[in-house]
C-alpha cells in the first residue's frame, strides 16, 4: 500500500470517527476509559488541524472557478456548484441567471428541482420505515395495494429497478383524461385500471424505472397515512436542518420562495421557460427541491448515520442483483460504478430543464454537487474535469501535519 493511499485511508477513518462520536446513538461508548479519551482527543486534534497549504487551496479555487466560468459561458451552465473533500467544504459558487427575463442571478438560496436525484430520498424513507419495523423489503406491493395489477413485485424489486413495470409517463400521457395532472394515488388507480403490459417478470432484469419510485412513495403514504412531502420533511429535512428543501407537486402545491423553473435554449442564447406536464404532480421519482448547501447536509448526514444505521446504508450502497445472480449497477436510490479503479456512488437527473448530479468518490473522499436549470448536458465532463483539477493541485503528502501528527497517523 502506498504512503499516499495509507494517509487517505487513515484520514477517512478519523473523519468517520468524528461523526460517530458526535452523532451516533448506537455506537457511542457510555463508559469510556482514560485511554479511550486520550486516543479520541488525539484523533480530534488531527482532524481539526488537517488542512492543505494556503497556496494550494488558492490555486485549486482559482482553477475551479475558471473551469465553471468557462462552462457557464460556453456550454450554457446556469447553476450551483459545491465541492467537499475529506468532509470539509472546498469550493462553492453560483453561475448564471435564476430568471432569464429579469436577469436576476442565481445565489446560495436558489432552490433546484433534483429530478432523479430525488430517488435517494425515497429510498432512505423506505429504509427508515424498515428500521421501524413498518415494512419488509420482501413485502409485495399487493400487501399495500391489493388492486395493483403486477403480481410478485416486492419493495426490493422497486428499489433496485428489477420490477419490470411499465413507464407511467406513457400511461399518463395516453390514458389520463382529466385536465389536472394525476397525483400518486390517482396514478396508482390508473395503473390498476389500464393494466399496461410490463416489460418482464420481477427480478429477471435491470431496467431503470421512474414508475418503481413513485410506487415506493405511494407505499410510504399508505403506511404512514401522511403525504410523501410531509414524511420527507419530518424525517429527513428537519433532522438534517435542510431548511430550504421541500417536495413540490405541480398544480397541488404553491410556488416557494427562491424556487427555480427550468429553461431550454432557444435560438442561440435565448431561453424559454418549460411548463409543467401531466407527469409533474407525481412525486417520489422526482420533485424534491433543494439547494446545493442542503444537499451537502444531506450526504453528510446520511453517511454519518443520523437517519439510518450503517447496515441500512451498506444495503443502499451495494449493487443489486437479478434472480439469476447477475450484479446490477444500482443500489437503493444510488447508482454505483468504478471509474479509474475508484468506487463512485452517484446519481444524475434530468427533468424539465433541470440537470443535477451528486457524486461521491469514495477513495478520494470527494463530493461534487452540481445543479443546473437551463438544460445543461455535460455533467460527466464537469465532474471529471473538476476532479482532475483537485487531484493535480492538492498534494496530500505535503499537507501541513506536524511530526507528531504524522507519527500518530502512521502508527494508527
What are the sequence ranges of the domains in the chain? Answer: 3-53+402-411, 61-394
The whole-number average pLDDT for the span 94-121 is 98
Tell me the residue length of the chain: 412
**Predicted pLDDT of residue 396:** 56
* Burial class of residue 34 (count of CB atoms within 10 Å of its CB; 0-12, 13-18, 19+): exposed
**Predicted pLDDT of residue 137:** 98
For residue range 301-311, list pLDDT tens digits in order. Answer: 999 999 999 99
| Mean pLDDT score across all residues of the chain | 87
How many CB atoms are located within 10 Å of the residue 141 CB?
27
For 228, list phi and psi in degrees, rounded to 5.
-55, -45
Distance CA 257, CA 122 (A): 24
Distance CA 101, CA 263 (A): 11
Which set of grid coordinates corresponds to residue 61? 479555487
- In CATH, the number for domain 61-394 is 3.40.710.10
Percent above pLDDT 90 for the chain: 79
Question: Is 239 in a helix, a strand, or coil?
Answer: coil
> Is the confidence at residue 43, as pLDDT, over 80?
no
The DSSP-derived string for 243-311 is: TT-EE--TTTSPPPTTB---EEEETTTEEEEPPP-TTSS--SSS-EEE-HHHHHHHHHHHHTTSSS-HH
How much of the chain is helix, strand and coil, in % rounded to 5? Answer: 40, 15, 40
Query: pTM to 2 decimals?
Result: 0.84
**Predicted pLDDT of residue 395:** 75
* Burial class of residue 133 (count of CB atoms within 10 Å of its CB; 0-12, 13-18, 19+): exposed
In 3D space, the residue among 377, 361, 278 whose CA is nearest the CA of residue 78 turns out to be 377
Amino acid at each position: 500500500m502506498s504512503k499516499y493511499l495509507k494517509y487517505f485511508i487513515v484520514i477517512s477513518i478519523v473523519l468517520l470517527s468524528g461523526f460517530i462520536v458526535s452523532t451516533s446513538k448506537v455506537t457511542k461508548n457510555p463508559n469510556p476509559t482514560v485511554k479511550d479519551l486520550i486516543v479520541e482527543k488525539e484523533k480530534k486534534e488531527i482532524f481539526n488541524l488537517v488542512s492543505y497549504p494556503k497556496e494550494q487551496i488558492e490555486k485549486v479555487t482559482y482553477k475551479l472557478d475558471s473551469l465553471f466560468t468557462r462552462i457557464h459561458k460556453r456550454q450554457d451552465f446556469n447553476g450551483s456548484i459545491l465541492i467537499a473533500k475529506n468532509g470539509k467544504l472546498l469550493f462553492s459558487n453560483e453561475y448564471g441567471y435564476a430568471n432569464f427575463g429579469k436577469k436576476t442571478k442565481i445565489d446560495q438560496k436558489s432552490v433546484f428541482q433534483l429530478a432523479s436525484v430525488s430517488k435517494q430520498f425515497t429510498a432512505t424513507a423506505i429504509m427508515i420505515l424498515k428500521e421501524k419495523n413498518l415494512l419488509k423489503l420482501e413485502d409485495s406491493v399487493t400487501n399495500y395495494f391489493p388492486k395493483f395489477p403486477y403480481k410478485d413485485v416486492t419493495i426490493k424489486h422497486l428499489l433496485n429497478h428489477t420490477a419490470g413495470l411499465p413507464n407511467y409517463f406513457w400511461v399518463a400521457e395516453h390514458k389520463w383524461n382529466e385536465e389536472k395532472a394525476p397525483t400518486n394515488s390517482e396514478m396508482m388507480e390508473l395503473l390498476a385500471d389500464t393494466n399496461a403490459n410490463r416489460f418482464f417478470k420481477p427480478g429477471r432484469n435491470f431496467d431503470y424505472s421512474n414508475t418503481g419510485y413513485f410506487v415506493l412513495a405511494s407505499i410510504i403514504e399508505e403506511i404512514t397515512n401522511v403525504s410523501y412531502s410531509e414524511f420527507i420533511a419530518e424525517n429527513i429535512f428537519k433532522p438534517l436542518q435542510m431548511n430550504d428543501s421541500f417536495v413540490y407537486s405541480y398544480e397541488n402545491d404553491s410556488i416557494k420562495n427562491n424556487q427555480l423553473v427550468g429553461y431550454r435554449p432557444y435560438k442561440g442564447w435565448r431561453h424559454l421557460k418549460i411548463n409543467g406536464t401531466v407527469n409533474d404532480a407525481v412525486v417520489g421519482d422526482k420533485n424534491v427541491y433543494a439547494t446545493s448547501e442542503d444537499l451537502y447536509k444531506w450526504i453528510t448526514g446520511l453517511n454519518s448515520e443520523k437517519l439510518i444505521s450503517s447496515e441500512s446504508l451498506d444495503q443502499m450502497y451495494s449493487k443489486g442483483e437479478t434472480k439469476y445472480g447477475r450484479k446490477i449497477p444500482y443500489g437503493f436510490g444510488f447508482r454505483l460504478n468504478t471509474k479509474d479503479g475508484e468506487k463512485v456512488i452517484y446519481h444524475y437527473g434530468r427533468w424539465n430543464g433541470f440537470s443535477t448530479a451528486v457524486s461521491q468518490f469514495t477513495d478520494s473522499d470527494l463530493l461534487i454537487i452540481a445543479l443546473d436549470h437551463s438544460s445543461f448536458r455535460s455533467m460527466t465532463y464537469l465532474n471529471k474535469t473538476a476532479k482532475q483539477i483537485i487531484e493535480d493541485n492538492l498534494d496530500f503528502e505535503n499537507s501541513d501535519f506536524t511530526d507528531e501528527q504524522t507519527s500518530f497517523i502512521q502508527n494508527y
